[in-house]
Amino acid sequence: MQIILTLDVPDDLVEHAKLANLAEWGATKDKTDEQHVADFVNSLKLTKEHFNLADQTPLNGLYEVGTETVLAHTGTGPSSGARARLLAGLWNALLTVVKE
């Protein structure tokens, strides 16, 4: 199936997209929940140190509407919110087309 999407993207998100790198799907090796949490804590710590963030920051991500079901976390860094918004727009545009 070939899908062609037409998107109306706000200018600020276009600018964020221009600065982003290509992405790929990935998965960690098998770990316990505790090991995954420890890795996540370390990732948050590294982001906080790199960007000199406050102790409390929002965790941006992609969630199913009206639920707390996490589709993807995009992080706590300065571009994380824009990336989550871009992903949500792309996700929703794709679902709109395939569900027609």
pTM above 0.85, yes or no: no
* Tokens 């964020």 belong to residue: 16
Give the residue among 23, 24, 17 at the shortest CA–CA distance from 79.
Answer: 17
Q: 100 pLDDT band (50/70/90 cuts)?
A: confident
Span 39-68, pLDDT tens digits: 999 999 999 999 999 999 999 999 999 998
The CA–CA distances, whole Å, from 15 to 45, 51, 86 equal 27, 20, 11
Q: 87 pLDDT band (50/70/90 cuts)?
A: very high
Give the residue among 95, 57, 55, 98 at the shortest CA–CA distance from 79.
Answer: 57
Span 14-44, pLDDT tens digits: 888 888 889 899 999 999 999 999 999 999 9
